[in-house]
Amino acid sequence: MNSAIRRTWFSLSLLVLPILGSCAENRTSEVQIGIVADVIDGDTVDLTIAGHSQRVRLIGIDTPETKHPEKPVQCFGPEATRFTASLLAKGTEVRIERDAEARDSYDRLLVYLFRTSDNLFVNLQIVQQGFARVLTIEPNTTYMGEFVTAARDARVNNRGLWNECQG
């Protein structure tokens, strides 16, 4: 490789490597375990993580509202909350996976949850069964493709809110 090409590669690496590093440092590679303390609504859960209480928001999904201070209870909201509670009974141990952005504007920890007993991907199961729509907020898009496919299947097969709610 001649010196001009080497200098170009070196210059590009100085630009690209810091960007890659900043993206990677926001994701947690360590496995975190939590215990379900309470299900707040279909996409919000209180967990105990390392002895501390944390309100978490399930990434990539949006269930109908049941407790929003400025919105009425939405169609299929209570059903979505009950479904999430059926997946995550109090005391259930979950593996926590995070994405690029750690918290939302309400200071909730943004997470993907997996039940440790059977490795059920909770966020995906809620969408597959028709209790949530897909909500993609960049940069947290790791499982976006799976969520879109699951939502399309739920809609085509009239599962959950896709059968009960218009619009």
Task: List b or e across 71-90, with b for residues whose CB sees 16 or more CB atoms inside 10 angstroms.
Answer: eeeeebbebbbebbbebbee
Q: Which of 97, 98, 108, 159 is catalytic?
A: 108
User: Among this protein's residues, is 133 annotated catalytic?
Assistant: no
Q: In whole angstroms, what is the distance from residue 68 CA to residue 35 CA?
A: 24
**Among all chains, which residue has been given the structure tokens 């209480």?**
53
Q: Which of 57, 98, 115, 159 is catalytic?
A: 57
Question: Which run of H or E residues covers position 70?
Answer: none
User: Among this protein's residues, is 79 annotated catalytic?
Assistant: no
Where helices occur in the chain by DSSP H, the ranges are 3-26, 77-87, 122-128, 144-156, 161-164
User: Among this protein's residues, is 82 annotated catalytic?
Assistant: no
Q: Which of 65, 98, 115, 159 is catalytic?
A: 65
Active-site annotation, residues: 57, 65, 108
